[in-house]
Each structure stands twice: as structure tokens, then as C-alpha cells.
Structure 1
Amino acid sequence: MLRFGVVKFERLPRRYLVWTEGSLKEMVDSHFSRRCVLSCDRVKLPKSFNSWSVETIGGIKIVFTNNLADHLLLVDDDTRVLIFHHVSFLECHRLAKETLDTLALLFPITKMRAESSWFRRKTCLRPEPSTTPIDERLLHCGSLQTEERQIERFYYWRDRLVILKQAYDDATPTLSPIRWWRDRRNGPQWCTFWVATLVLLITSVLGVVQCVLTGIQTFKNG
């Protein structure tokens, strides 16, 4: 589940590992060493942060990959994020625990069941770049509790989670009422916006009604 070296004439090259010396275990351990570059201060992963909200609210398309080295990697000017989906494979390896936690974070079982139509559309697509079907156990990773969503609990994937979270927070929904309705990242701001919209709508309707009644009254008096 890892890619080594460059494939000639590859249409969409992604990250690959270079193995020139040492054993395979030493090379893999070196690549997935517990090093974090980005600061995790004030970075929290709220319950609303999942694959559905990342795609429908943040506008970052979820793309499945068969290469573990590409997991959580933002590509194409931060418009797509690659997700390693082979849960069955992960359950057999030590690196699995934290990778499974990232999948439980992005594909919480309760949220994905609520958005089952969205997930069915995603799983109808093939992961990039091969044609391997999406692992059906992707929806059986469970959900993370509040304390398990603290960013400092992640070591291997912390930097990519921080980058993805920042890209998601910086995203602004398109001018679509449905996306504005779904965007509840900031609860008070969401309530203020929709209360103001409702007040404006009611005021507009009352204004139109008043104009119509005034016109009818003028017509009758005339």
C-alpha cells in the first residue's frame, strides 16, 4: 500500500518513496517517523470537522487513494484531499491505529449514515489512480470522542490534519443558500446571519403586501 519510485508516463503522479539503502522496515519507519513541523497551538478538531463538511462546506473535494503515503495530502491548489481508504489493510498493521483514527474523524459513522446519499455518490467513484473499489469497512471505523479529537493526540498525520483544518476554516461557501445553511462552523455567526435574513425577508414581504393593499385602496377610492 505504498508506492516506490517514479512510474514512466504516469498521468497524475503523486507522492512516492525512494528506497536506496537499508531494509524496507528501516525505510518505512524513517518516512513515518514521529516528527511534526507545524505548531498545534489552538488547533482543535471539532465534531463538525468531517469529510462531508470538508467537501460540501469547505469546497475541498474528497478523493480516495491506494497510496498510504498520500493520506490527507492536499493537492491541486488545496482543492482536493487524498484519503487512504483501505480499512481492512490498516486493521492488520501497527500504523493502523492513528490512520484509523483519522478515518473515524473524517467518516464518523453517525454522520455518514445521516449523509448516506452523499457517501454512496463518493463510493461510486474509483480511487485515484487505480480502479480498486472503495473499502466497504470505511463506514465502520466508529467515531472519536471529544478528548480523542485533540490534535496533540496525532503524531504521524498531525501536520496534514492541521493543513487540512486550516484550509477548511479559510474556505468561504459559494453564493448558494444551501451551502450557507449547512455552514455551521461558527454557531453565533450562523444564527445572526439567518435571523437577519429572516427579518429582511419578512420586512420585504410586508412591504410588498403594504404596497399591494395601498394600490387596491387607491384604485377603489379612484
Structure 2
Amino acid sequence: FKESSTNTEKIKFDADMTAFNIKCFTGLKIQWTDNLANHLQLIDNEAKLCIFHHVTFLKWQIKSPIFPSEFIKETLQTLALLFPRYGRNTQKWLHSEFSSTHGLIYIDCGLLNCDSVMPNDRAVEKFKFWRDELLTMNEKFDEPRPISVLQLWHDRRKKLQWFAFWIAVLVLVLTIFFGLVQSIEGTLQVYKAYYPTSN
């Protein structure tokens, strides 16, 4: 693992860029991996995001000579970005992931207790080893192309656009509904005109 050479200006990763939101907003599937080299890699035509989930292993490796301690700390920091300890939706989603089976992969429960990330620590410059991967992921997160109504419903980052879209959908549904009611009523009136009921 080597440090990234990508030069970036004052970019900070948004607090909303969590694994749960990435999954909901972009449609990426989370692929749990046991291979640290695959961490934060996009695979399968950029349809899946690999996440190395072994927090406990990483914490044990901080003082180990196998990996540079800065690399391990930064990897833990990426997990803290993706799995905020106090993110209710993320925690709820993680619990459902723990209970479901993913082949032979058992997800490390340490993801529930990742350290908090301070706003200063969200700056791109703080990441030397995982910078390129995080920037790619951030780009996918910032410019999602919603492909389902569910993704449109969850993505409320641009509130004005979200409200405008759903109001337009509501107007369309009401227009169709009232148009259908008018058509049925008109059909009934024509029927009554041709076949009046006698008393």
C-alpha cells in the first residue's frame, strides 16, 4: 500500500457520506471483503463497493510491524466515515446486515463502535493511503443517477429539488385520478342519455 499522489484542494467528505446512504442514493451494493487490498474498490462495472469490515483485526494491527500504523489508523478512519457510531440509519442497517447471511462472511460487529470523525478529520488531506478510493466514492456519492423511485425517495440532500419533484409527482397522480373520474362520469352521462331509466 502506498500513499496517494493525488493533489486536492480543500475538499471535505460530507457527514452524509455513510455506507447506508451510499447504498440508498447511488444504488451501489456493499460487498463485504476479507481482503484489505480490495477495501473501497468498485467492482462489477462499478455496481459494488468493497468494504474491509474487520475492525477488530485492524485495531490489533496498530502496533504490529506488518503494516505501518498510520495506514491502519487511516483504514479505521475510513470505516468511521462510512459507519458513524451515532448514525441511526447506519446502525439499524448494520444490525440487519449482521442478521442476514452473506455466504461464509460474518461481518465484524466492531463496525458498530467505530470512533467518531471530527469535522477537521473529514478533509481529503488527512487521507494519504485511501485518498484516491475515497475521492472516487465521493464522486459517485455526489453525482448519483437515481435509477429507482426508492432512491429518489431516500435522497433528500437537495431538499428544494426533492420537494419540487414529489409535488410534481403528486400533481400528476391527482391529474390522472381526476381525469379518470371525469371520463367515467362522462361515460355514465352518455349511457344515461341513450338509455334513460323509466319510472
TM-score w.r.t. the length of structure 2 is 0.77
Gaps of 5+ in 1: 1-30
CA distance in 1 between counterparts of 2:125 and 2:159 reads 25
Partner of 2:91: 113
Larger RCO, structure (CA 8 Å, separation 6 or more): 2
CA shift for structure 1 position 96: 3.4
- Structure 1 pair 146–212 and aligned structure 2 pair: CA distance change class (3 A): farther
Query: C-alpha displacement at 1:200, in angstroms?
Result: 1.0
Counterpart in 2 of 1:102? 78
AA at the equivalent of 1:156: F
CA deviation after TM superposition for structure 1 residue 143, in Å: 4.1
Q: State, as a whole percentage, how many aligned pairs show the same letter.
A: 35
**What 5-or-longer segments of structure 2 have no aligned partner?**
63-68, 195-199
Structure richer in helix, relative to its length: 2
TM superposition score normalised by structure 1: 0.70
For the 8 Å contact 2:18–2:90, the answer to whether it is kept is no
Q: CA RMSD in A?
A: 2.6
Measured in 2, the distance between the counterparts of 1:200 and 1:72 equals 40
Are 2:90 and 1:90 equivalent residues in the alignment? no
Alignment deviations for residues 88-141 of structure 1 (CA, whole Å, 9 cap, x no partner): 1222303333222211211223232232565236x6215xxxx45321111111
User: 1: distance between equivalents of 2:96 and 2:164?
Assistant: 28
Counterpart for residue 146 of structure 2: 173
Greater gyration radius: 2
Structure 1 stretch 75-84 or stretch 192-201: which is displaced more?
75-84
Instruction: Give me the whole-angstrom Cα distance separating, in 2, the residues matched to 1:44 and 1:188.
Output: 23
User: Matches of 1:221 and 1:146 in 2, distance apart?
Assistant: 72
Deviation track 1:176-208 (CA, whole Å, cap 9, x = no partner) reads 322221233433222221111111111211222
What is the aligned partner in structure 2 of residue 161 from structure 1?
A: 134
Change (3 A) 1:192 1:143: farther
Question: C-alpha separation between the residues in 1 aligned to 2:185 and 2:83?
Answer: 53
What's 1:134 paired with? 107
Deviations 1:17-47, CA, capped at 9 Å, x for gaps:
xxxxxxxxxxxxxx34xx3333433644222
Equivalent residue for 1:71, pick from 7, 30, 39: 39
- Measured in 2, the distance between the counterparts of 1:202 and 1:69 equals 52
